[in-house]
Amino acid sequence: MYGGRRRVSLLCRHRGVAMATAVTGGQGLCRGGRPEYRARARAARRCAGGRRPRGRAAERRTGIVERGGMDAYDQGERGHPRAPGPSAPDPSAPGPSAPGPHVAPRTGIAALSLRYQVGVALALAVVAAAVCVHLGMTFLHVAPPNTVTKEHGQAVDDWIYPEFEQNWKLFAPNPLQQDISIQARAEVRDGEGATVTTGWYDLSAEDGRAIDGNLLPSHTQQNELRRAWDFLVATHDSENRPVGLRGSLSESYLRRIVVLRLGRDDAVRAATGGGGAVERVQVRSRTSNVPPPGWSREKVSTTPSYRELPWWPVPRAEAEGGVR
């Protein structure tokens, strides 16, 4: 029957070869065309037990027809053609367009517009030029005297001092291991004409207290007093006498710093209890060796030594605070 067909698979293993034939509704599907299908039919009959039947009776008994089976299978049962399967894709037909290469998003300066790129390039060029000029000036400053420094030494010094000063004592084979503090006192004339001498004010200790805990200490707190003292020592002899014009200049520079510091500390008011004017000032240095660490066998003296300068008269303009 067409609607009640059933498919029976007969599996035979004959001499190590697996054979199968399909039987549907009493009609064979191996109706003779190709030799291999006929061989499979004969093997199936032998497995069923017996020789090959002959004639129409054999066909009715076994349900195997040796001719036209594959044609009936290919065209379907009872003459109905099989539905065509999906056709293979045509290799000559144009396929979907392949996606283009992945383009990564632009980052950094490349992500900016052209106008901003030009601005950034100019800024980088200015910074690079400034760095090159600074490195060149620093090299000329620390280099031995040469033709360039003799011709443009003042320009080099103006660029280096005071912010970019080079102090090579830190990298010396035996670096400085001394603690030097600058102290000052003054003679003050009170309102009655009497002269009073103040005590010693440790100006270096004041700078140290201002620097401690300050993430951005000023150049004045770090270097003003120290540089003024180094300038005076370099331009005076062992008897504290100035050598040349720079010696007198160093005295004036240090004296003005001391007067301004004493005025800021209200030394006159503390000495006189009221108004008055500073007539003279005196400066000294207190030098003590830094004690070695506990694991060191080095023995040094920690007794401080003093270098006391003579009294310097203070001009009236400086005493009244006219010089800043």
Q: Is 2 contained in some domain?
A: no
| Whether residues 116 and 15 fall in one domain | no
Question: How high is the pLDDT of residue 31?
Answer: 44
Element spanning 205, H or E:
helix 203-211
Taking 50 as the threshold, does the pLDDT of residue 1 lie above it? no
**Could you tell me if 73 and 145 lie in one domain?**
no
Q: Could you tell me if residue 324 is inside a domain?
A: no
Distance of CA 64 to the CA centre of its chain: 86
Task: Count the domains in the chain.
Answer: 3
Q: Which pLDDT band, with edges at 50, 70 and 90, does 313 fall under? A: very high
Specify whether the CB–CB gap between 194 and 277 falls below 8 A: no
Supply the mean pLDDT for the chain.
75
Q: How far apart are CA 309 and CA 289, in angstroms?
A: 21
Q: Are residues 75 and 129 in the same domain?
A: no
- Is 258 within a domain? yes
Do 192 and 240 lie in a common domain? yes
Question: Are residue 184 and residue 307 in the same domain, yes or no?
Answer: yes
Looking at per-residue pLDDT, the higher value among 106 and 91 belongs to 106
Residue 95 lies in a domain: no
Among 62-76, 168-182, 207-221, the range scoring the smallest mean pLDDT is: 62-76
pLDDT greater at residue 264 or residue 45: 264
Q: In the predicted model, what is the mean pLDDT of residues 9-22?
A: 41
Same domain, 210 and 239: yes
Q: How confident is the model at residue 7 (pLDDT cuts 50, 70, 90)?
A: very low
Answer yes or no: do 183 and 310 share one domain.
Answer: yes
- Give domain status of residue 302, yes or no: yes
Lowest mean pLDDT among 114-123, 128-137, 274-283, 284-293: 274-283
Which of 30, 58, 79 lies at the terminal end of a domain, its last residue? 79
Q: Which pLDDT tens digit goes with each residue over 224-276? A: 999 999 999 999 998 999 988 889 999 999 999 999 998 887 777 777 777 77
For the question of whether the overall pTM of this predicted structure is more than 0.75, the answer is no
Whether 231 maps to a domain, the answer reads yes
pLDDT at 124 over 70: yes
* Predicted local confidence at residue 87, as pLDDT: 58
Question: 89 lies in a domain?
Answer: no
* Alpha-carbon gap, residue 229 to 286, rounded angstroms: 12
Asked if residue 173 has a cis previous peptide bond (ω within 30° of 0), the answer is no
The one-character DSSP state at 242 is B
pLDDT band (50, 70, 90) for residue 92: low
Residues 120 and 208 in one domain: no
Q: Are residues 215 and 153 in the same domain?
A: no
The percentage of the chain sitting over the pLDDT mark of 90, rounded to a whole number, equals 31
More confident of the two residues 163 and 295: 295
pLDDT digits (tens, 9 = 90+) for 153-211: 889 988 888 778 776 665 666 667 889 999 999 998 887 888 889 999 999 999 999 99
Does residue 186 sit in the same domain as residue 302? Answer: yes
Q: State the residue range of the domain holding 276.
A: 177-319
Checking if the pLDDT of 126 tops 90, the result is: yes
pLDDT at 45 over 50: yes
The reply to whether 315 and 191 lie within a common domain is yes
Token output for 287: 């030098």
Question: Which of 131, 160, 189 finishes a domain?
Answer: 160
Helix (H) or strand (E) holding 20: strand 17-24
Token representation of residue 211:
């620097």
Asked whether residue 186 falls in the same domain as residue 284, the answer is: yes
The reply to whether 100 falls in a domain is no
Distance (Å, rounded) from C-alpha 205 to C-alpha 281? 18
